[in-house]
Structure 1
Amino acid sequence: MEHRTSKMLSKILYEKGGDRHMPLVPLWQNWDMVMGEELAELGRPLGHKNRTIIIGAEDSMAQYELSAQTYEILERVHAFLGKEMFDTVQVELMQGRESLDKLTMPVFKKALPKIPPRPKDLGKLEHILDPESPVTKCYKKYVAMYDGEKDTLEN
Structure 2
Amino acid sequence: MAYQAREILHGLWSDPEHRRRLRLARMWTSWSKIVGDHVAELARPLGHNKTTLLLGVDDPMAMQEIHFQTSAILEAVNAALGEKCFDKVRLDLLNGRSPLDAIAQTLVRGREVRSRSPRQAFDDAGFTAGDLGHDAGSFSAVPALERCYRAYVRLVEETRAQKNRD
Which TM-score tier does this pair reach, normalised by the shorter chain?
0.5 to 0.7
* 1:4 and 2:7 are equivalent in the alignment: yes
2:85 pairs with 1:85? yes
Higher-Rg structure is 1
> Following superposition of structure 1 onto structure 2, how do residues 9-88 of structure 1 map, counting pairs within 5 Å?
10=12, 14=15, 17-88=17-88
Q: CA deviation at 1:33?
A: 1.0
Q: In 2 relative to 1, CA 5–44 (structure 1 residues): closer, same or farther, beyond 3 Å?
A: same
**What is the CA-CA distance between 1:4 and the residue it aligns to?**
3.0
The 2-side partners of 1:18 and 1:64 are apart by: 34
Matched residue pairs, number?
Answer: 104
Distance 1:19 1:80 in 2: 14
Q: Deviations for 1:125-151, whole angstroms, at most 9, x for unmatched residues?
A: xxxxxxxxxxxxxxxxxxxxxxxxxxx
The unaligned stretches of length 5 or more in structure 1 are 108-155
Distance change (3 Å), C-alpha of 1:37 and 1:50: same
Residues 54-74 of structure 1 show CA distances to partners (whole Å, capped at 9, x for unaligned) of 110000111111111110101
CA deviation profile, 1:101-135 (whole Å, cap 9, x unmatched): 1114387xxxxxxxxxxxxxxxxxxxxxxxxxxxx
TM-score calculated relative to the size of structure 2: 0.56
Alpha-carbon distance, 1:35 to partner: 1.2
Instruction: Show CA shifts across 1:36-80 (max 9, x none).
Output: 121111111110110010110000111111111110101111222
RMSD of aligned alpha carbons: 2.3
1:105 aligns with: 107
Q: 1:19 to 1:82 in 2, by over 3 A?
A: closer
Higher helix proportion: 2
TM-score under structure 1 length normalisation: 0.59
The one-letter amino acid of 2:23's match is P
Alpha-carbon distance in structure 2 between the residues aligned to 1:31 and 1:74: 12
Q: What SS class does the counterpart of residue 89 from structure 2 fall into? A: strand
Unpaired segments ≥5 residues, structure 2? 111-166
